[in-house]
């Protein structure tokens, strides 16, 4: 008799990063990622992922462009965090920490 399946993962009531942070990291690791893939990674709906992408674009954290039939995202790594307690830090610090092999996690000065 095969062993029973593992219990479902417990959904926690809070996390250290917001969904905006997770979407940002998803785009940082894969600039050509599809909205449905972002939604699956983050655990949100595609509509929520689109809204977050729009928020990030409106605030200057990323830019969207079309490459053929796909959307390509370009991050602006020198944008500062919005919260007053972390506003002295730039988002590339987060990317380098949590997604160090991301194409946008360059250590070169622009």
pLDDT tens digit string along 73-101?
Answer: 999 999 999 999 999 999 999 999 998 88
pLDDT band, residue 106 (cuts 50/70/90): low
Spatial neighbors of 32 by CB under 8 A, at least 6 apart, are 67, 70, 71, 72, 73
| pLDDT of 109 higher than 60 | no
Q: Which two tokens stand for residue 21?
A: 């942070």
Q: What is the CATH number of domain 19-98?
A: 1.10.10.10
The mean pLDDT of 46-55, rounded to a whole number, is 98
Output the CA angle 86-88-90, nearest 5 degrees. 85
Residue 108's pLDDT is what?
Answer: 47
């Amino acid at each position: 008799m095969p062993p029973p399946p593992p219990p479902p993962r417990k959904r926690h009531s809070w996390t250290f990063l917001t969904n905006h942070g997770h979407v940002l990291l998803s785009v940082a690791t894969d600039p050509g990622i599809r909205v449905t893939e972002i939604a699956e990674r983050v655990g949100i709906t595609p509509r929520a992922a689109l809204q977050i992408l729009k928020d990030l674009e409106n605030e200057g954290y990323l830019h969207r462009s079309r490459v053929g039939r796909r959307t390509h995202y370009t991050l602006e790594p020198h944008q500062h965090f919005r919260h007053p307690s972390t506003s002295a830090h730039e988002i590339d610090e987060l990317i380098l920490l949590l997604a160090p092999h991301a194409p946008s996690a360059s250590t070169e000065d622009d």
